[in-house]
Amino acid sequence: MKRHLTWILLLLTLLVGVLPGAAAAGMEKMTVTFYDEVSQSYGQPTVTDRINLTLDGAPLTPVDVPALVQYPAGSQNGRTLVPVRLISEALEATVTWVPETRQVVILREGSTIVLTLGSASALVDGKQVQLPDGIPAGVVKWEGKESTMVPLRFVSEQLGAQVEWQGDTATAAITSPKEEKPQPPTDPTGPEEGDLGWITGLDFDKTTQTFTVTADHTPQYRILDLGDRLAIDLLGAVYAPAVGKDLILSVESDAIEQIRCSQHGDDLGYGYPHTLRLVLDLASGVSYAQNLSVSAGGNQVRVSVSEAPEQPELPPLEPGKITIAIDPGHGGNQPGAVYPDANGNDVKEKDLTLPMSLMLAEILEDRGYNVVPTRTGDDSVSLADRAKMANAADAELFVSIHCNALDRNDYEGIFTYYYPNSTKGAALAQQVQDGVVAATGGIGRGTPSANFQVLRETTMPAVLVETGFMTHPGELARLCDPTYQQKIALGIANGIDAYLNNRT
């Protein structure tokens, strides 16, 4: 009997060592909803456990959504999720949100963590790593507030911190990375065995707006698009002026604010003894996709400014009329989703959103509105410029038109998105969603919020309408039909009228 009691006590001790579920004492309950990246909507309310946080003994308190436990299906042992910006900045890391790919990029001292919302794996310094228990990063809503949440232990340990579970107070205690004692300099005097060679020059030509990297070998490089920054890693390369210190190169450019240069060893995970990282800080409204091009030839890598940012040009606006900004998604060298129709011909999203937007513009103009389109042809327009155009026009409303896609072909329906915590945006989204569903007879999938750039950077109530799924054969056929496109345009116009007529 005594031996059995000993084994029972040992088993209980092991269970408490894992972040507990129902076995934990003193946990406060909270009701949250988790955003599903597949259906692009919030799930049903879930009751879970609230977690306290400390950093080096001091309370660490989230502003919006508290730390909480997410339990895998069928398991009582969960993983703690915390707001990404809270934990990253507490551990002296920077956070970048990439809306086009639904990714969070965390940077600290040359280390890079890329978390894709809804994915059970992450990229750590370019290597794929499975997340513990498959618990992904994701958006969580609690009491009307939303936060992007990430696994606490995984992110903390990747940033060099430690996490200890204190079950008696339901607290995750985080300890900052220990400061290393100064070591004798180990900076390279030159390339080592396994490296490719020297970087012999970094030059910026203000006339041609070209940044040139010159090497004594054929350079190998990787590009990381960080939204407001562009990182270029030169593999197996050493640049003597950057050894032992970070350099900042001043440039005369409207697109590039400065270029930072940092010499790394083998810490970036590329398999070379050294890597030179160049970071181009981009001016407001500039993006790699729209304004820069990277090319290589011989012993050089060149970054060229292909399109300088300009102030948006607006059509003539009639005083006294309400102005509506209409944004046909994608365009130019950004086709959006591409899927074959019933005849096997590729259909590009940009070729569906434009006619729908032009139809909408015509309806609104007939109803007495000013209309500002972000594009009227097959043009490349950055997300930042789309928002700038609407803001410069002092538009009353902003409507972006897109088509959806999934990795399955049996899901169809209409979504209308608004920016998180925008009361007016939510009201506009509901009216537009109701209008489109009524006009088309399509399946209404709801009005979730999302941190899309065009919704975030516009200063007026803004919505993004996902008019249907190109991956569903029947819905794709309807989206290609001008009669159905006209119904979508009419539904959006009716929703705009309803919103404006019901404002208080």
Of 279, 305, 331, which one is at a domain's C-terminal end?
A: 305
Question: Is 62 in the same domain as 165?
Answer: yes
Encoded tokens for 187: 């900076």
The C-alpha R_g of the chain, in whole angstroms, comes to 26
Question: Is 379 in the same domain as 419?
Answer: yes
DSSP class of residue 334 equals B
Long-range Cβ contacts of 302-308 (<8 Å, 24+ apart): 302/210, 302/211, 302/212, 302/213, 303/210, 303/211, 303/212, 303/230, 303/232, 304/208, 304/209, 304/210, 304/211, 305/209, 305/210, 305/253, 305/254, 305/255, 305/256, 308/209, 308/254, 308/255
Instruction: Evaluate if residue 17 carries a pLDDT over 90.
Output: no
Of 305, 334, 361, which one is at a domain's C-terminal end?
A: 305
- For residue 83, being part of any structural domain is answered with yes
Q: How many other C-beta atoms can be found within 10 angstroms of the C-beta atom of residue 258?
A: 13
Question: Is 361 in the same domain as 217?
Answer: no
Instruction: Evaluate if residue 188 carries a pLDDT over 90.
Output: no
Question: Is 372 in the same domain as 479?
Answer: yes
- For residue 421, being part of any structural domain is answered with yes
Question: Is 299 in the same domain as 166?
Answer: no
DSSP class of residue 92 equals T
Question: Is 79 in the same domain as 163?
Answer: yes
The DSSP element (H or E) to which 429 belongs, if any, is: helix 423-440
Model confidence pLDDT, tens digit, residues 403-452: 998 877 888 999 999 998 889 999 999 999 999 999 999 999 889 888 88
Count of structural domains, the chain = 3
Question: Is 140 in the same domain as 224?
Answer: no
Model confidence pLDDT, tens digit, residues 306-326: 765 455 677 788 889 999 999
- For residue 111, being part of any structural domain is answered with no
- For residue 1, being part of any structural domain is answered with no
Active site residue 466: yes
Q: Choose among 93, 127, 97: nearest CA to 110.
A: 93
Question: Is 30 in the same domain as 169?
Answer: yes
Please report, for the domain that includes residue 248, its CATH number: 2.60.40.3500
Question: Is 335 in the same domain as 452?
Answer: yes
Question: Is 364 in the same domain as 489?
Answer: yes
Domain that includes residue 260, residue range:
197-305
Please give the Cα distance from 23 to 76 (Å, whole number). Answer: 8
Q: Which residues pair with 70 in a beta bridge?
A: 79
Question: Is 263 in the same domain as 167?
Answer: no
Catalytic residue among 146, 396, 457, 466: 466
Question: Is 34 in the same domain as 161?
Answer: yes
Please report, for the domain that includes residue 386, its CATH number: 3.40.630.40
Please give the Cα distance from 356 to 359 (Å, whole number). Answer: 5
More confident residue, 285 or 404: 404
Please give the Cα distance from 150 to 113 (Å, whole number). Answer: 11
Listed in sequence order, the residues at least 6 apart from 427 whose beta carbon sits closer than 8 Å to its beta carbon are 461, 499
Q: Choose among 179, 127, 133: nearest CA to 153.
A: 133
Model confidence pLDDT, tens digit, residues 331-387: 988 888 899 998 889 999 999 999 999 999 999 999 999 999 999 999 988 888 899
